[in-house]
Amino acid sequence: MTWINSLGTEEIFFIIIFLGLYFAYTFRVFTVAKRIGQAYSNVLPKFLLRSAIFTLLIMALLGPAFGEDKQEVKAVGKDIMIAVDLSESMNAQDISPTRLEKIKFELKNIVDAFSSDRIGLIIFSSEAFVQCPLTYDQNALNLFIETLNTGLVPGAGTDFGSALFLAYDKLTKDEEVAENQKSKIIILISDGEDFGEETEQAVSKIDESGIRLFTLGVGTEKGSKINTRRGYKKDNRGNEVVTKLESGSLKKIAREADGKYFEINYMDNEVGRLIATINTIEGELKDTRIVDVSANKFFYFLGAAFLLLLLDVFTSVKIIKI
């Protein structure tokens, strides 16, 4: 037999008080009976009866578990690959404090919202790399998110195609192809400036597979200068570069893949809507196991204590004869 609960400091405190008062009462009865020369052995049955009641109540409180039972446990979840644009334009400050820092904050909210799902992280600019493979480990994910910066990838432009192809490969590389591919999700996060040539092929492949694709744009139409260690970024002519949110390409990708487009700008933050939309997607059955469980049988001990309490109430013992 095992115990589901444990006694805390508060429970132990009240048990000690009860025992102290009850033993004080019993000692007083014995003492009085002895002084007046009466037999006090009759108090023993009541003492044992009430001690048994108290013991049974404590055992019921602890939650005794015994016996064997079988229970089916199902693991259901989604696989989510998040591709984050780390091109230099993500350092723009039209979204405070910067586009990238805002995304890092929201990524942690997304990870927290899908704690029972596997999440992976891809970083990209002109090339794409796996920063964190699909995992249930939220601490590892948050650690990788915290280290994101635009210096992690080559800064020769932005290519959505490489990131989408990589996300597709990681979601479909399992030995067994999932029956419900719609439980596999790609979230593409960028400011929308795409210079890749294979984006349409990647989107088409994702759409045919049934994988859900959502895009999240970050920035404003007014745009902002790009802050670097040497000041604002300049073009070949020495003019300061202004980067703007190009939502058109992200909306097109989402539309062609039967997904949805969401946005973070200086007025609206649609990450909550993104999370709500993904929550409506049914997860895939990952694993089913039959486990041995022990049920809490506290009611047996509680019932026995109640019966003994009735016996105590309806029986009387004459302790001292006058």
Q: Residue 177: pLDDT band by 50, 70, 90 thresholds? A: very low
Q: What is the pLDDT of residues 76-100, one digit of tens each?
A: 789 999 999 999 899 999 999 999 9
Bond from prior residue into 97 cis (ω within 30 degrees of 0):
yes
Residue 263 or 25, more confident: 263
Spatial strand order of the sheet with 260-264 comes to 128-135, 118-124, 79-85, 184-190, 212-218, 260-264
Share of the chain above pLDDT 70, in %: 84
Give the pLDDT band (50/70/90) at residue 145. very high
> Which of 68 and 321 is assigned the larger pLDDT?
68
Q: How far apart are CA 169 and CA 163, in angstroms?
A: 10
- pTM equals 0.67
Structural domains of the chain in order of their starting residue, each with its CATH number: 2-63+297-314 (no CATH), 74-287 (3.40.50.410)
The pLDDT, as a whole number, for residue 299 is 84
CA–CA distance, 154 with 172 (Å, rounded to integer) = 26
For residue 208, what pLDDT is reported?
Answer: 92
Average pLDDT over residues 133-160: 91
Quote the strand ranges of 173-223, DSSP E: 184-190, 212-218
pLDDT of 311 reads: 87
Q: What is the mean pLDDT of residues 48-63?
A: 83
Are the C-beta atoms of 186 and 206 separated by less than 8 Å? Answer: yes
- Per DSSP, which regions of 31-144 are E strands? 64-77, 79-85, 118-124, 128-135
| Closest listed residue to residue 304, CA positions, set 1, 49, 69 | 49
The C-alpha R_g of the chain, in whole angstroms, comes to 34
Q: What was the pLDDT predicted at 71?
A: 65
